[in-house]
Amino acid sequence: MNLLERTNEVRSQLKEDLSKVQNTFQSIEDFRLKYIGKKGLIPSLFRDFSALCATEKREIGKILNILKKDAEKAVQNIQDRFADSQSGEDEFDYTLPGVPFNRGHLHPVTQTMNRICDIFKEMGFGIEFGPEVETDFYNFQALNFPDNHPARDMQDTFFIEDDILLRTHTSPVQIRTMLKQKPPIRILAPGRVFRNEAINSRSYCVFHQVEGLYVDENVTFGELKVTIEVFAKKFFGKDVKLRFRPSYFPFTEPSAEVDISCIICGGKGCRLCKHTGWLEIMGCGMVHPNVLNTCGIDSEKYSGYAFGMGPDRITLLKYGINDIRLLFEGDIRFLRQF
């Protein structure tokens, strides 16, 4: 094969290879080396070219030069195309609609707590917070749970040290507030509480409470009842009925538990209310004189009421969720539904 034939052969080979080059660095580099690299096909044609006589050189020189230029241009083009695809600029289509992104929202229990707080704020209650790590004094002693009092067993406590614990209820915020403010006091205290309980579908070791406290001159149980009633009708709907059952808490006397008529069956009896027609929503009572006196508030002059409710349970009831653990697992597929 003479040089002219070989040149034509290289040209058609180059055309075929060019159509197969992939848009990767390696593929482009292989192509470049094969044709215009120092040991490539075109430089080798030029080496043979230098051995030709002048007439032959005139005949082939031009063709060879065009092949060399075409090969260099092809390499330049595929290198440019590769660089563009890497910077991504040419790939971006500005006319496409934006990618939608998910906006977060408040946890269902936070939504319930906010709603509870909003209703009481309308009635003039302020919001107070207290620490989750408490001392025995605030969590028990000042709330009229003396040492060794059996009522301490009602609340399985996580102790950190003898005297330091994770609060088992939000009632210690009552004490903290009464120690720093003088009556009239009207506060709500939402927050997390902790109990060392067996975990199952109905109880978890962490949950929430919203505590309420009102202390002033001549506060009566009647005011407590009407306040709870106004709250329950706003929260659960105006047709809800209430029932106060006598109960016991060391820090209130008298004490009661509050039931609402079942929000599913309206009181006829169903699975949710275990066929009683009633659902328990909170504990409440008149603040025990010992508690007022411990906080330096004269129990002869002042009286007060307090209540405590569980927004987790209320959230479960509201949405018909049958396992409290779902509220604390942080599973986004569950939480997105609310």
Which residue in the shown chain puts its C-beta closest to ligand DAH? Answer: 308
Per-residue binding string, ligand DAH, 61-80, x by CB under 6 A, is: --------------------
Among 10, 117, 219, 284, interactor with ligand DAH by CB under 6 A: 284
Q: Which two tokens stand for residue 12?
A: 């058609």
CB of 169 to ligand DAH, least distance (A): 3
Q: Which two tokens stand for residue 38?
A: 């120092």
Residue 321 in the binding site for ligand DAH (CB under 6 A): no
Residue 283 in the binding site for ligand DAH (CB under 6 A): yes
Q: Which is nearer to ligand DAH, 143 or 321 (CB)?
A: 143
SS3 59: helix
d(CA 226, CA 216): 16
Q: Which is nearer to ligand DAH, 169 or 176 (CB)?
A: 169
Residue 169 in the binding site for ligand DAH (CB under 6 A): yes
CB of 112 to ligand DAH, least distance (A): 17
Cα–Cα–Cα angle for 69, 73, 76, rounded to 5 degrees? 140
d(CA 120, CA 126): 8
Among 249, 260, 304, 316, interactor with ligand DAH by CB under 6 A: 249
DSSP state of 143: G
Contacts 24+ apart (CB under 8 A), 54-61: 56/3, 59/4, 60/3, 60/4, 60/7
- Token look-up 């210690």 returns 172
Q: Is the bond preceding residue 190 a cis peptide, omega within 30 degrees?
A: no
CA dihedral 133, 136, 138, 143 (to 10 degrees): 140
Residue 177 in the binding site for ligand DAH (CB under 6 A): no
Compute φ and ψ for 5, nearest 5 degrees: -60, -40
The span of 2-10, 112-120, 230-238, 302-310 binding ligand DAH (CB under 6 A) equals 302-310
SS3 33: helix
Residue 285 in the binding site for ligand DAH (CB under 6 A): yes
Residue 306 in the binding site for ligand DAH (CB under 6 A): yes
Length of the chain, in residues = 338
Residue 45 in the binding site for ligand DAH (CB under 6 A): no
Q: Which is nearer to ligand DAH, 170 or 315 (CB)?
A: 170
Residue 252 in the binding site for ligand DAH (CB under 6 A): yes
Q: List binders of ligand DAH among 183-222 (CB under 6 A).
A: 211
Under the rule (CB under 6 A), what is the footprint of ligand DAH? 169, 171, 211, 249, 252, 283-285, 306-308
